[in-house]
Amino acid sequence: MNKGDNEEINPDFVTRLAGFLEFDEGRIQHLFEKNYLARNWGKHDYLFRFDKEISRIERGTVFYEKDESFEVIMGFPKIRRAMVLDPTLRKHFSGLEKIAVEEKMNGYNVRVAQVNGEILAITRSGYICPYTTERANVKLNLKFFDDFPELVLYGEMIGPDNPYVPKEIYGIESVEFYIFDIREKNSGNPLPIQKKHEILDEYGFLQVRSFGEIPLETAAEEIAEIVRKLGEEEHEGVVIKDPDMVLAPLKYTSSQSNCSDLKHAFKFYNEAGRDYMLSRIVREGFQTVEWDENEAEFKKRCMQLGESILSPLRESIRSIKNGQRLYEEARIRVKDPKTATEFENYLKRLGIDAVFEEPQSIGDEYLINIKKINKSTNDKTQAILEGDLW
């Protein structure tokens, strides 16, 4: 696996980049050696990414040379989580009258921007995904990027043809891009929410659902109600924002979203992060206390938690016992079969073991089913079932 191509960085480039970032040259050199700064490969090899957070520049931030200097597309700011709504909202947003509430959708984070005249889809980690890039070019009103070359769309790719996080729950036939932020290149500054809505409306972009502005005073209660309802539809939760986008947003999720994460994690129990699992479990504890649930509600929550953990575990162990291999099913829909080939190579380069089936023609596009293999859980489970010790 080779995720980048740092060999050919020349000294002059290092000097200019050091000047631009206001880092020592030695530090830049070191970051390249450690692959914390990494050059993309292939036709996008003019693009560099931060593979680690450095001096408060988010991981996934990308940059490239432009007009004898550099242009930067900042990464997704990590949104911190309220474990309880009250007093967290009052404390975090203190001084505001109202806060804006938007749905947190369950998709694949992507930034879309014009870079050297091309429209690129940049992943959370700072890669250029060829599939997402093709979809963005097909689905989005590209006039926006000509009118605002200095702006970047921050959104989620959502739907069943999203090969990373396939979801049927939103009633989308293939994939769509739901935008949640517009930010400036270089500074990374977000537009205020009102301004964002105006522009997104004007160009006809899909937007994550807005629950409007809510008085801070009653927000904890109202948001609990919103999240409960979202949970009933298996939706994920909300992001709570300062309408001026000065204070950092917070997120808060439904129990169903925690359980859904756990279902996926325990299907591939040997791959999933321990902290990932634990945090989702602990959230259930805080939510049941904050929502002051009665015993019937609590029992229901226990059962849901237990089933979210044990059902996928049992399913995985049974499958392997029956001689099957575990895999994740995914699907893409492309205009150009070349995009599928490029995407296959891209996944390979990222170390993801995926089998692409034959394309099926559908309208003027092609559907391709993909099986992503999770080797570690497969091998571990098989070994245990054959008598290996833990």
Contacts with a second copy by CB under 8 A lie at: 80-84, 87-88, 90-92, 250, 266, 269, 274-275, 277-279, 281-282, 284-286, 288-289, 298-299, 301-307, 309-311, 313-314, 316-318, 321, 384-390
In whole angstroms, give the CA distance from residue 387 to residue 390: 9
Give least dist CB 310 to a second copy, A: 5
Give least dist CB 164 to a second copy, A: 24
Give least dist CB 318 to a second copy, A: 6
| DSSP line for 211-223 | EEEEEHHHHHHHH
First to last CA, the chain: 29
Give least dist CB 249 to a second copy, A: 11
Give 133 or 377: the residue with its C-beta nearer to a second copy.
377
Give 2 or 322: the residue with its C-beta nearer to a second copy.
322
- Residues near 314 by beta carbon (within 8 Å), at least 6 away in sequence: none
Question: Per the structure block, which two tokens stand in for 146?
Answer: 């000509």
Question: Per the structure block, which two tokens stand in for 35?
Answer: 């692959």
The continuous run of DSSP H or E covering 156 comes out as strand 151-158
Give 115 or 240: the residue with its C-beta nearer to a second copy.
240
User: Cα–Cα distances in Å, from 109 out to 8, 25, 42, 122, 173?
Assistant: 30, 32, 23, 9, 19
In whole angstroms, give the CA distance from residue 331 to residue 32: 35
Give least dist CB 263 to a second copy, A: 12
Give 40 or 255: the residue with its C-beta nearer to a second copy.
255
In a 13 Å sphere around the CA of 283, the CA atoms on its Cβ side amount to 23
Give least dist CB 384 to a second copy, A: 4
Give least dist CB 289 to a second copy, A: 4
Give least dist CB 386 to a second copy, A: 7
Query: Which residue has 């000509």 as its token pair?
Result: 146
In whole angstroms, give the CA distance from residue 265 to residue 237: 19
Give 65 or 293: the residue with its C-beta nearer to a second copy.
293
Give 278 or 362: the residue with its C-beta nearer to a second copy.
278
Q: DSSP code of 44? A: G
Give 318 or 338: the residue with its C-beta nearer to a second copy.
318
In whole angstroms, give the CA distance from residue 76 to residue 98: 24
Give 46 or 286: the residue with its C-beta nearer to a second copy.
286
User: Cα–Cα distances in Å, from 384 out to 200, 205, 219, 277, 310?
Assistant: 53, 50, 49, 22, 17
Give the residue among 210, 182, 163 at the shortest CA–CA distance from 332: 163
Give the residue among 7, 6, 29, 8 at the shortest CA–CA distance from 17: 29
